[in-house]
Amino acid sequence: MDATDLLAIQVTRTGEILHQLAEDIDVPTSRKRAFPGANLIGFILWHLARTVDWAVNSMVRGAPEVAFDFDFQGPADARISQIGFGIQLHEADAIAEATTPAEVARYFELVLADATQWLQNNPDLSFVPDAPAQQPDFPGYRTDFYLEEVRSYMEADATALLILAGPATAHVRGHFGEIGVLRQILG
């Protein structure tokens, strides 16, 4: 087993967890706030799926994200909202209102298939991608806050492996814990 195999296992397991959450969380729960200032679970689910798609495609491969061809509408459309970096709470709420857990799960199945197929080709993950140059030319991907985040990976000389191990796996796993806490609070 090598790093590529491990990443494929991690991304697959992320998909299994996200799918289970999508089955367990109904639409009203996904749109209910656990406490003032908390993100809605529906937004977090969308953000998780979007983060993996973004990390694999926009950050590492320089390829179009799966979301660009998915049927997210309004504020959940990736061309408008990128992956949710630096957005206001009301914008995150609008994304939760525009999606359902089942829709996010369908989208992530496509992301998972895309990422798995790419990882099966055993790509070189030791390179430092030119992430700023690879960003899509959509409004959400052109905000100062977003571009600063992208540049931070370049400044850290983050390899493709580190980007995939960070945002695409560790970051997502942290949000799974957040969802667990929010669900407990909501009862």
What's the average model confidence in pLDDT over 100-126?
94
What's the average model confidence in pLDDT over 54-71?
94
DSSP per-residue string spanning the chain: --HHHHHHHHHHHHHHHHHHHHHHS-HHHHT--SSTTPPPHHHHHHHHHHHHHIIIIIIII----GGGGS---GGG-HHHHTT-TT--HHHHHHHHHH--HHHHHHHHHHHHHHHHHHHHT-----S---GGGGS-SSGGGGSHHHHHHHHHHHHTT--HHHHHHIIIIIIHHHHHHHHHHHHHHH-
Task: Give the pLDDT of residue 58.
Answer: 93
Per-residue model confidence as pLDDT tens digits over 92-112: 999 999 999 999 999 999 999
- Domains belonging to the chain, first-starting first, are 3-186 (1.20.120.450)
pLDDT band, residue 85 (cuts 50/70/90): confident
Q: Is the pLDDT of residue 139 over 90?
A: no
- How far apart (Å, rounded) are the C-alpha atoms in residues 163 and 183? 29
Q: Is the pLDDT of residue 4 over 90?
A: no
Q: What is the mean pLDDT of the chain?
A: 93
pLDDT band, residue 29 (cuts 50/70/90): very high
pLDDT band, residue 90 (cuts 50/70/90): very high
Per-residue model confidence as pLDDT tens digits over 64-73: 999 999 999 9
Amino acid at 81: S
